[in-house]
Amino acid sequence: MNVYRLLISCPDAHGLVAKVSQFIFEYDGNIKEAHHHLDDENKRFFMRIEIESSSLNCSLDKFHRAFVSVADKYKMDWRMSDASQLKRILIMGSKSSHCVADLLHRHHEKELEGEIVGVLSNHDKLSKLASWYDVLFKQVSINDSTKTADIASMTQAISAFNPDVIVLARYMQIIPGDLCDKYSGKIINIHHSFLPSFVGANPYARAAERGVKLIGATCHYVTANLDEGPIIEQDVVRVNHADSADDMKKMGQDIEKITLAKGLQYHLEDRVLTCNNKTVVFS
């Protein structure tokens, strides 16, 4: 069953749920799934609705045009999508392969509601992995001595893939601010949740020395502020004194894979709305 998805963010107003539902009813739309949330602090209303596409008595384009008057009246930020139009996913990675391999395998098994169009890396280590899954691979090295030119080449490579969403699957380069702005709300990153306590190299070794009891991962949208974008998903696993740094790293990588896949899937299913620097996730 195909669905159209309507996502709304707007100032709170009386009767919003009824107004939107009535509008859908007027076009014979059958609501398959509906969620809404009121952010009391910001006085902002959020809604996600799935409509059975076959139930509408008009085209999606006509329905979209008709909804403009409602959206304007209530000052809505909104978007509507056709779930049958799969989003184009570009994976960016460096040397670590666990997240890249996990996403490629999920795509191979048709677990992702999206189409992986390529793997872009600053190293060649992931090329064989991409080839095995029959996914286009592109390498753009980033060197300190030619960084400006290399970043320009990377930007061109990204544009050539024409992605709807970019997944930084342990890509160990900072994304320039202009790219963050161009793909705002469309770049997803994953990192361990030791930040800001254990920044830099060997965080698991230092966490083990410190005797941490929880390790985890954070999936978030990328902004110009490094690792401070709106959080989509997080998860943790408990560790104890018997776990070595290597044990913790393995468990941490497992959590990273699961958390990134969940966060990406929420995005692909249009379940995420942002408000300032946080998210509403209708999971």
Tell me the catalytic residues.
Answer: 227
- DSSP track, 205-228: HHHHHHT-SEEEEEEEE--SSTT-
Report the C-alpha gap between 74 and 58 in whole angstroms.
23
Q: What distances in angstroms separate CA 53 from CA 56, 66, 82, 148, 168, one per listed residue?
A: 6, 16, 8, 47, 33
Report the C-alpha gap between 80 and 185 in whole angstroms.
16
Structure token digits, residue 216: 């985890």
Phi, psi of 190 (to 5 degrees): -130, 140
Structure token digits, residue 145: 């001595």
Q: What distances in angstroms separate CA 201 from CA 22, 86, 186, 194, 262, one per listed residue?
A: 55, 37, 27, 12, 26
Q: Classify 17 as helix, strand or coil.
A: helix
- DSSP track, 120-132: EESSSTTHHHHHH
